[in-house]
Amino acid sequence: MILSVIKVFAPTAMAFFAGIAITPILTHYLYKHRMWKKKAGKIAPDGRATPIFDKLHAHKETGTPRMGGIIIWTSALLTIALIWLIAQVWPTDVTTKLDFLSRNQTWLPLFTLIIASLLGLLDDVLQIREPKDGRPNGGLPFWNRLGIVITLGLVGGWWFYAKLGVSAIHIPFWGDLTIGLWIIPLFIFVMSVLFSSGVIDGLDGLSGGVMAIIFTAYAGIAFFQNQIDLAAFCAVVAGGTLAFLWFNIPPARFYMSETGILGLTTTLTVVAFLTDSVLWLPLIAFPLLATSASVVIQLTSKKLRQGKKVFLVAPLHHHFEAIGWPAYKVVMRYWIIGLITAIIGMILILLDK
């Protein structure tokens, strides 16, 4: 038991300090090469300009680098690789036990984190190019990114069904429901929904704090399910995210951007399925759900109600800014709500089991 606790907490601290250590190197590179958007502004999902958002944030976008999410997945990858290497070079009972790279628990989430983060990195690189038509660069086209996410979901769903033998989902306080091959399209759907929640990365400290809370909650859930390797993986991601957050608290040194948020949201899908808590995900990750839903509501309202909006601007956190809330108040209240809903979700999962 003690070794299991160490297995979860020690890598968390290692990932945090690894992230802190590599940040000066990354920061120097990002500022030296001006890795920020060259043209301020944002294009809404419906292709229109966002004047309210531009008024609130235009002055920040052209002086603060993107790609801060590199801190998260790099620190996690370094920590996992170091612990695995130690177990290979000095194979003792302790070092072997502390190694949490395993086929049935951590291969798939680690693969997803790396692939999705690299995709996000490519999107960031495209966004920081000099614009050719005077409009802000939008990075990879939305449908291209969604197509790659769907492909990742297809691979993940197939892995669960064919390699891990998972063909059922747990219905809270009822039991398991066998759905067979339908586990694959369900996996794709959940990953696509979480992909849309990446718009939460819009204020200094917002996405970092929310994602750190969610992955910490899932570390606890996995630990109580005796999936110690997965618990350690989630904790490492949380540790790397906290290292990023250290430098993203206002005023942000850099933004998480796609290379961070895309890796985190897609990996969260895998973790939710591995812990058999997919239907609890909307509660545990409530800030993500609310943020994504606000965009859907806004677009639907504008389409069906002749351009009328529900929110001054979407996503939801920018609406609160537009009505006069300081950014730090929005961020901290998101953290509080995220923490409370994550705790409630953990309690209900434990009672459900």
List the one residue out of 166, 3, 23 whose CA is nearest residue 94.
3
What SS3 state is found at 43? Answer: strand
Structure tokens at 162: 């064919």
Whether 23 and 249 have beta carbons less than 8 Å apart is answered as no
List the one residue out of 188, 139, 183, 142 whose CA is nearest residue 295.
142
Q: Which amino acid is at 17?
A: F
What SS3 state is found at 10? Answer: helix
pLDDT at 110: 96
- More confident call, 141 vs 17: 17
Find the helix or strand (DSSP H, E) in which 244 lies: helix 228-248
Asked, as a colleague might, if the bond just before 51 is cis with ω within 30 of 0, I would say no
Distance (Å, whole) CA 162 – CA 183: 11
Interaxial angle between packed helices 183-196 and 286-304, expressed in degrees from 0 to 180 and rounded to the nearest 10 = 80
Segment 336-341 mean pLDDT: 97
For residue 249, pLDDT over 60 is answered with yes
List the one residue out of 222, 199, 238, 279 whose CA is nearest residue 75.
238
* Per-range mean pLDDT, top range of 47-56, 163-172, 189-198, 210-219: 210-219
**C-alpha separations of 119 from 87, 170, 190, 259 in Å:** 30, 31, 19, 7
Phi, psi values for residue 76, rounded to 5°? -65, -45
Q: Which amino acid is at 242?
A: L
- 253-271 pLDDT, tens digit per residue, is 999 999 999 999 999 999 9
- E strand segments, the chain: 168-171, 175-178
pLDDT at 48: 56
Distance (Å, whole) CA 174 – CA 184: 22
For residue 181, pLDDT over 90 is answered with yes
Distance (Å, whole) CA 211 – CA 295: 19
Structure tokens at 165: 């033998």
Give me the percent of the chain exceeding a pLDDT of 70.
91
Could you tell me whether strands 175-178 and 168-171 are parallel, antiparallel, or unpaired per DSSP bridges?
A: antiparallel
User: 3-state DSSP helix/strand/coil percent for the chain, to nearest 5?
Assistant: 70, 5, 25
pLDDT at 63: 80
Whether 124 and 67 have beta carbons less than 8 Å apart is answered as yes
- 43-83 pLDDT, tens digit per residue, is 555 555 566 555 655 556 678 899 999 999 999 999 999 99
Whether 228 and 4 have beta carbons less than 8 Å apart is answered as yes
For residue 136, what pLDDT band results from cuts at 50, 70 and 90? low
Q: pTM for this one? A: 0.93
Distance (Å, whole) CA 129 – CA 137: 7
Q: Please give the distance of CA 255 from its chain centroid, rounded to a whole number.
A: 13
